[in-house]
Structure 1
Amino acid sequence: MSQTDAATTARTDATVVSADGTTIAFERSGSGPVLVLIAQALSDRRDHRKLAALLSSSFTVVNYDRRGRGASSGAGEWHPLAEVEDVEALIDAHGGAALLFGSSSGAVLALDAAAELPSKVGGVIAYEAPVIVDDLRAPVPRDLPDRLAQLVADGRPSQAVTLFMKAALGASGFMVGTMRLMVPVWRSMVAMAATTVFDVRLCAGLQDGVPLTTERWAAIEAPVRVLVGGKGDPFMQSGSAALASLLGAEREVIPGAHHATPMMKPSVLVPFVREFLGSVRG
């Protein structure tokens, strides 16, 4: 690695304080327009480090721990706008304007931020937002947040993660069993069990198996690109098409990609991210 490359990919750790006093920890790398990476459920900034490193030659990448995860403090009385305020604090700490990349529930949060902060968000990439608009998979039960919260309150975080994976992610028992065998990964997810409640509440109204009619994002002014993996589940294909239609956004199918691609093989996504955000920047 050259000295220039090393300087570009070097990470700087820092924190910001959100509106309600929550401390949000983040890593900054690279140079150029500011790009905030917003992680999916049961993930923290470690899961986007590869993506951040790949994008840091084109952007100042801000890769953070959502509240209640990693080095960020807990959320207290959580509500969707609290996480938007976290994003706003990060944007304000980096000049007052940013582009956003969100994956899964992080894509929902990125769209919320674009709607609430139109003067601060210049463009959004929404990768596999988990909307359910038909019968290609079961709707997410409306009482799931309460059930998850009760398991966490009862000191059963592992059971909460299992329930979330099955009911919210649609994971099979075999898949959950396989994840349990990956002990460091499973322990990391169990440590974030309380945040599954936030993610399900964040996606409320988007996972009922009916067409999208929400006005939630009517105020978005920034360009949006909806991405879906070519290997994504069938409900993701139809859901991403419905989301793009609702937003008046372009949709792209990424060959060979799936729901975990931002973590496992982010290089597949990088050309699409650079192309779209580069055109927004231009």
Structure 2
Amino acid sequence: MSTSKDGTSIAYDKVGAGPAVVVVNGALSARSSSTELAQLLAPRFTVYSYDRRGRGDSADTKPYSVQREIEDLEAVIDAAGGSAFVYGKSSGASLALEAASSLGVKVKKLALYEAPYSEAEGAAREWREFRSRFDALLAADRRADAVTAFMKFVGAPDEAIAGMKSSPAWPGMIAMAPTLAYDNAILGEDRSVPVRTAAKIKANTLVMDGGASLKTMPFMRATADKLGKAVPNAQRRTIEGQGHDVNSKALTPALLEFFN
């Protein structure tokens, strides 16, 4: 357990031996979702998987701000010795990007997988409309409806959502529903690629997307390309055959090569 600057307790797991790697998960994910990836990286690295605030065993101090989440990640990095490699997925990639731009040398290298910014035609309008609906549902404490609205917005088919609702994971998703507002805040008012923030990153950076996402989420390719150009010391890589929910076994070779 580490403690953030505002006193929030941040829970984390530590496994492996070697240089530190901190894993930053995306929406509706507790630290347990990165267990397989951590085990695959553990022979070469000490992997820190943590619960972002409001999730799992971490506390949640109000009011929320993106800066508080950056401080949470910084607290885990400090627990890892003061500097670390950082890998972020989805909105976790967006948080990792924001953190790397402000934490300087504490982030030794940065790996990003499908940060979900979108500058596709109409995306900004759709984003604002979604956030308005979502915020209203959350304000009314209609958590199940809020999670459903989020899943539909990100493209989950009705049958997949029905499967989630009947699965053992659903109560945990409902419990984490308020944190979706945090993920939304990290992506900004219009969900555009934060080129000015990206330009401040000093760390060598690996920007990744999945080959299969080109069909299901075509904006991910354009976003990754733009981030790859905006970050000064970045390289681009596509993990072939993978969608947004990237398979850890497919991802690990890229991370091992980059963090080596």
**Which TM-score bucket, shorter chain as reference?**
over 0.9
Runs of at least 5 residues in structure 1 that lack an aligned partner in the other structure: 1-14
Instruction: Output the CA distance in 1 between the equivalents of 2:156 and 2:124.
Output: 12
Matched, 1:272 2:251: no
Are the equivalent residues in 1 in contact too, given 2:128–2:190 (CA < 8 A)? no
2:70 aligned partner, one-letter code: V
TM-superposition CA deviations, 1:206-225 (whole Å, max 9, x none): 625xxx46312322100110
* Equivalent in the alignment of 2:229: 245
More helix by share: 2
- Any idea what SS the aligned residue of 1:251 has? strand
Q: Percent identity?
A: 39
* Equivalent in the alignment of 1:216: 197
Are the equivalent residues in 2 in contact too, given 1:149–1:194 (CA < 8 A)? no
* Structure-to-structure mapping, 1:29-48, within 5 angstroms: 29-48=15-34
* Equivalent in the alignment of 2:173: 189
Matched, 1:170 2:155: yes
Instruction: Output the CA distance in 1 between the equivalents of 2:136 and 2:79.
Output: 36
Q: CA deviation at 1:42?
A: 0.6
Instruction: Output the CA distance in 1 between the equivalents of 2:58 and 2:21.
Output: 19
Instruction: Note closer, same or farther for the CA distance 1:137–1:150 as it changes in structure 2 (3 Å cut).
Output: closer
Q: CA deviation at 1:251?
A: 0.9
1:225 aligned partner, one-letter code: L
* Equivalent in the alignment of 1:3: none
Q: CA deviation at 1:175?
A: 3.1
* Structure-to-structure mapping, 1:44-83, within 5 angstroms: 44-83=30-69
1:272 aligned partner, one-letter code: A
Q: CA deviation at 1:161?
A: 0.3
Are the equivalent residues in 2 in contact too, given 1:100–1:121 (CA < 8 A)? yes
Instruction: Output the CA distance in 2 between the equivalents of 1:140 and 1:76.
Output: 28
Instruction: Output the CA distance in 1 between the equivalents of 2:22 and 2:197.
Output: 21
Instruction: Output the CA distance in 2 between the equivalents of 1:139 and 1:99.
Output: 35
Are the equivalent residues in 2 in contact too, given 1:137–1:235 (CA < 8 A)? no
Q: Give me the TM-score of the superposition, normalised by structure 1.
A: 0.85
2:79 aligned partner, one-letter code: A
Instruction: Note closer, same or farther for the CA distance 1:128–1:99 as it changes in structure 2 (3 Å cut).
Output: same
Instruction: Note closer, same or farther for the CA distance 1:42–1:173 as it changes in structure 2 (3 Å cut).
Output: same
* Equivalent in the alignment of 1:122: 108
1:244 aligned partner, one-letter code: G
Are the equivalent residues in 1 in contact too, given 2:84–2:106 (CA < 8 A)? yes
Q: CA deviation at 1:163?
A: 1.1
Matched, 1:157 2:139: no
Are the equivalent residues in 2 in contact too, given 1:102–1:110 (CA < 8 A)? yes
* Structure-to-structure mapping, 1:97-108, within 5 angstroms: 97-108=83-94
Runs of at least 5 residues in structure 2 that lack an aligned partner in the other structure: none
Instruction: Output the CA distance in 2 between the equivalents of 1:148 and 1:137.
Output: 16
- Any idea what SS the aligned residue of 1:90 has? helix
Instruction: Output the CA distance in 2 between the equivalents of 1:75 and 1:259.
Output: 30
Instruction: Output the CA distance in 2 between the equivalents of 1:83 and 1:160.
Output: 22
Instruction: Output the CA distance in 2 between the equivalents of 1:41 and 1:26.
Output: 17
Task: Indicate the RMSD between aligned Cα atoms, in angstroms.
Answer: 1.8
Instruction: Note closer, same or farther for the CA distance 1:192–1:251 as it changes in structure 2 (3 Å cut).
Output: same
Q: CA deviation at 1:162?
A: 0.8
The number of aligned residues is 256
